[in-house]
Amino acid sequence: MSHETHEHGCGCGCHDEKINPFENLDPVLDNYADVPGSLITILQKAQEIYGFLSVELMRYIAIETSNSIAKVYGVATFYTQFRFKPIGKNLIMLCQGTACHVNGAKMIEEAVLEFLNIEEGETTEDGLFTVNNVACLGCCSLSPVMMINDDTYGQLTVDKAKNILAEIKDKNSTMEDQK
């Protein structure tokens, strides 16, 4: 499948000969574009590569898979795993499940949001953190619990949650200073 030039008029430049901002997705499209039922896989890989699904990226996927943009957008918006705006370097998922709820999840949420000075669903100005509530992380024996990227933190207290975030901030500052 060629991803070089098309006369589709989207105006995003995704098929310009010299510039293809989505060229990193082309190997995925080569493998899956013609495979029935592979749209979710393509969207997952696209989000893995680019961090989120922009309108331009979904348009590119629609064209390359011979789907309508409405279908691609419909599939992407149906599933909660897909994001449509950039997220911070550290994605914080705060569990709101029953076990976490009865063990203080609301206090943890309030402390995290206050510490970062943002609202749920927002990203800090420095791009370091995004905070999202989730229905359940499946770690009920560790409640209350949060995940930051792939790391799980359980049996949280307000102080423990703040200390974890401060440690990540400090580590990031140290890494920035070394550049």
pLDDT in tens, 68-110: 999 999 999 998 889 998 899 999 999 999 999 999 999 999 9
Mean pLDDT of 168-178: 83
1-85 with 90-177: one CATH topology? no
Which residues does the annotation place in the binding site for [2Fe-2S] cluster? 95, 100, 136, 140
- Let me know: does 81 contact 135? Beta carbons within 8 Å: no
Residue 89: which of 2, 176, 178 has the closest Cα?
Answer: 176
Which residues lie closer than 8 Å to 159 by C-beta, 6 or more apart? none
Confidence at residue 3, expressed as pLDDT on a 0 to 100 scale: 47
Give pTM, 2 decimals: 0.69
Query: In 3-state terms, the chain is what percent helix, strand and coil (to 5)?
Result: 45, 10, 45
Mean pLDDT of 146-166: 97
The second-level CATH assignment, the architecture, of 1-85 is: Orthogonal Bundle (1.10)
The pair of structure tokens assigned to 13 is 């430049």
Backbone angles phi, psi at 41, to 5 degrees: -60, -45
Class level of CATH domain 90-177: alpha beta
pLDDT digits (tens, 9 = 90+) for 129-139: 999 999 999 99
Which residues does the annotation place in the binding site? 95, 100, 136, 140
